[in-house]
């Protein structure tokens, strides 16, 4: 072997090009619902929906909450 051979070169992380942006495809993971008495004839309704992207596994959470006497339509 040659004395000047240094092996294959690997680029540093700072030299790599940035990854292309993900074209998200979110899939519904689960929904959690909770209601509790809030006093003054009001009930606190909370709904939490969780989604994840099939491609990059990013998680997205959507939370809805409302104080109401009647059950909201989205609950």
- What's residue 66's pLDDT? 92
User: Which of helix, strand or coil describes residue 15?
Assistant: helix
Residue 7 to residue 3: CA distance in whole angstroms:
11
Those residues with Cβ within 8 angstroms of residue 35's Cβ, 6 or more apart along the chain or in another chain? 43, 44, 45, 46, 71, 75
39: which 2 tokens?
Answer: 């006093």
70: which 2 tokens?
Answer: 């009647």
3-51 confidence digits (pLDDT tens) = 777 777 776 777 778 878 889 899 999 999 999 987 778 899 999 999 9
User: Could you tell me which residues are beta bridge partners of residue 53?
Assistant: 26
Domain ranges of the chain: 32-70
- What's residue 2's pLDDT? 62
pTM of the model: 0.66
């Amino acid at each position: 072997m040659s004395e000047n051979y240094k092996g294959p070169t690997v680029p540093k992380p700072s030299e790599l090009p940035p990854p292309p942006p993900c074209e998200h495809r979110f899939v519904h993971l689960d929904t959690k619902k909770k209601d509790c008495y809030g006093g003054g004839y009001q009930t606190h309704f909370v709904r939490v929906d969780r989604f994840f992207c099939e491609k990059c596994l990013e998680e997205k959470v959507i939370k809805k909450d409302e104080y109401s006497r009647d059950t909201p339509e989205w609950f």
